[in-house]
């Protein structure tokens, strides 16, 4: 099928050829060689208001810098608006994830050995033993988080991916990183151009970001640093930093992760006197084996002071130092 793309309001239309991948999702691969690494997401009149043409063109014109220097990273920010044969806006084109990726979710939940690796990574033998919770596996997890922190740092500052969860981060066994669904991001430009986040995930969101989202207000950059730290903690420990605990009054009625976040109930945080870790199956015990520098970053990330949260630069530097100090 023949479609047309435009990368800027002043651009001329450029013809591309696409092939249907998923009729239900209205997803197409791009056959044109210059854009063969991209997918086209078609939209309908029902969801056009979620992804309007002006937002797509803004994102197409505000791309990450020097991505050619980062061949192992793909960010799913739309690179062009898509038009039909009548030149009516009908979708957007974006970089697809690398081949042979799996979701970061595979590494954020605890897996007891010797659980069948063939079940956990069906057909993906290159993943076997790579990220077990032994010395080699933990070092590889540090390396992976270093790569993820560098990839997230490439997202332009006008975007805040408040929706982000481990499911949106795709990884390969060789360390390539894809960040998906960036078209859902909040947009906040210096000229006051503001587009609220399309979604937010309570288990990865601060109380202030949930309030901002509900009121269609900008989510602060410090709040997304919290989201990143939650995912990093899960990769290293196999448990959510606000889950897997026993709570005492007055917090014993907090049964959901989001409630624990709202009440600052990090397992090793400022209200730890109200928290008991299970004796028989304490997933948080890995925290105490982490380098003290990493422990310190997590305590800052989950403190009640949002300005104390470590930046991606800090995560990258600290992870790199830890990796180089390991045997």
Region for residue 126 given its phi and psi (left: phi exceeds 0; alpha: psi -120 to 50; beta: otherwise): alpha
Predicted confidence at residue 117, as pLDDT, reads: 56
Domain boundary residue among 95, 124, 141? Answer: 95
CB 245: neighbour CB atoms within 10 A? Answer: 23
pLDDT in tens, 10-21: 778 999 999 998
Is pLDDT above 70 for 44?
yes
Residues 139 and 266 in one domain: yes
Is pLDDT above 80 for 138?
yes
Residues 11 and 120 in one domain: no
Residues 83 and 56 in one domain: yes
Residue 235: partners with Cβ closer than 8 Å, 6 or more residues away: 104, 107, 108, 141, 144, 145, 166
Q: Could you tell me the sign of the dihedral formed by the alpha carbons of 114, 120, 121, 123, in that order?
A: positive
Predicted confidence at residue 24, as pLDDT, reads: 87
Is pLDDT above 90 for 149?
yes
CATH number at residue 55: 3.30.200
Q: What is the largest CA-CA distance in the chain?
A: 66
If pLDDT is split at 50, 70 and 90, which confidence band does 112 have? low
Domain boundary residue among 53, 75, 95? Answer: 95
In percent, the amount of the chain with pLDDT more than 70 equals 94
Residue for token pair 């239309």: 13
Residues 108 and 90 in one domain: no
Residues 84 and 211 in one domain: no
CB 266: neighbour CB atoms within 10 A? Answer: 26
Predicted confidence at residue 282, as pLDDT, reads: 83
Average of per-residue pLDDT across 260-280: 92
Residues 177 and 315 in one domain: yes
CA dist list (Å): 257 to 108, 167, 204, 227, 270: 15, 17, 9, 13, 17
Total number of domains in the chain:
2
CA dist., res. 218 & res. 196, Å (int): 7
Is pLDDT above 90 for 281?
no
Residues 72 and 206 in one domain: no
CATH number at residue 175: 1.10.510.10
Average of per-residue pLDDT across 200-215: 95
Strand partners, 159: 187
Is pLDDT above 80 for 111?
no
If pLDDT is split at 50, 70 and 90, which confidence band does 304 have? very high
Token pair for residue 30? 């791009």
If pLDDT is split at 50, 70 and 90, which confidence band does 60 have? very high
In percent, the amount of the chain with pLDDT more than 90 equals 75
Least confident interval from 45-49, 289-293, 302-306? 45-49
Domain boundary residue among 95, 127, 143? Answer: 95
Residues 14 and 147 in one domain: no
Residue 64: partners with Cβ closer than 8 Å, 6 or more residues away: 75, 77, 154, 155, 156
Residues 10 and 120 in one domain: no
Residues 229 and 306 in one domain: yes
Residues 111 and 197 in one domain: yes
Is pLDDT above 60 for 102?
yes
Find the domain containing 236 and state its range: 102-325
pLDDT in tens, 157-181: 999 999 999 999 999 988 899 999 9
- Reduce the DSSP state of residue 274 to 3 states and report it: helix
């Amino acid at each position: 099928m023949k479609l047309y793309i435009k990368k800027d309001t002043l651009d001329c239309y450029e013809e591309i050829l696409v092939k249907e991948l998923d009729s239900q999702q209205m997803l197409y691969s791009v056959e044109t060689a210059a854009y063969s690494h991209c997918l086209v997401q078609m939209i309908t009149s029902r969801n056009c208001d979620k992804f309007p043409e002006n937002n797509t063109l803004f994102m197409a014109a505000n791309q990450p810098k020097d991505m050619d220097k980062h061949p192992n990273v793909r960010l799913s920010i739309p690179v062009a608006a898509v038009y039909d044969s009548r030149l009516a806006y009908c979708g957007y084109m974006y970089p697809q994830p690398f081949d042979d990726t799996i979701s970061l979710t595979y590494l954020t939940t605890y897996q007891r050995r010797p659980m069948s690796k063939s079940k956990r990574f069906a057909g993906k033998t290159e993943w076997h033993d790579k990220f077990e919770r032994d010395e080699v596996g933990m070092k590889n997890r540090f390396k992976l988080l270093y790569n993820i922190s560098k990839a997230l740092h490439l997202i332009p500052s006008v975007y805040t991916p408040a929706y982000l969860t481990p499911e949106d981060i795709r990884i390969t066994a060789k360390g390539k990183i894809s960040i998906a669904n960036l078209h859902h991001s909040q947009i906040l430009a210096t000229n006051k151009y503001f587009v609220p986040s399309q979604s937010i995930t309570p288990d990865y969101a601060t109380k202030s970001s949930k309030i901002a989202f509900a009121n269609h207000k900008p989510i602060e950059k410090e709040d997304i640093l919290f989201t990143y730290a939650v995912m990093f903690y899960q990769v290293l420990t196999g448990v959510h930093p606000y889950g897997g605990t026993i709570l005492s009054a007055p917090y014993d009625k907090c049964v959901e992760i989001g409630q624990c976040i709202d009440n600052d109930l990090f397992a090793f945080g400022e209200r730890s006197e109200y928290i008991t870790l299970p004796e028989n199956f304490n997933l948080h015990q890995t925290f105490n084996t982490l380098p003290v520098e990493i422990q310190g970053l997590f305590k800052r990330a989950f403190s009640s002071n949002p300005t104390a949260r470590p930046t991606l630069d800090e995560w990258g530097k600290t992870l790199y130092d830890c990796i180089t100090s390991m045997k």
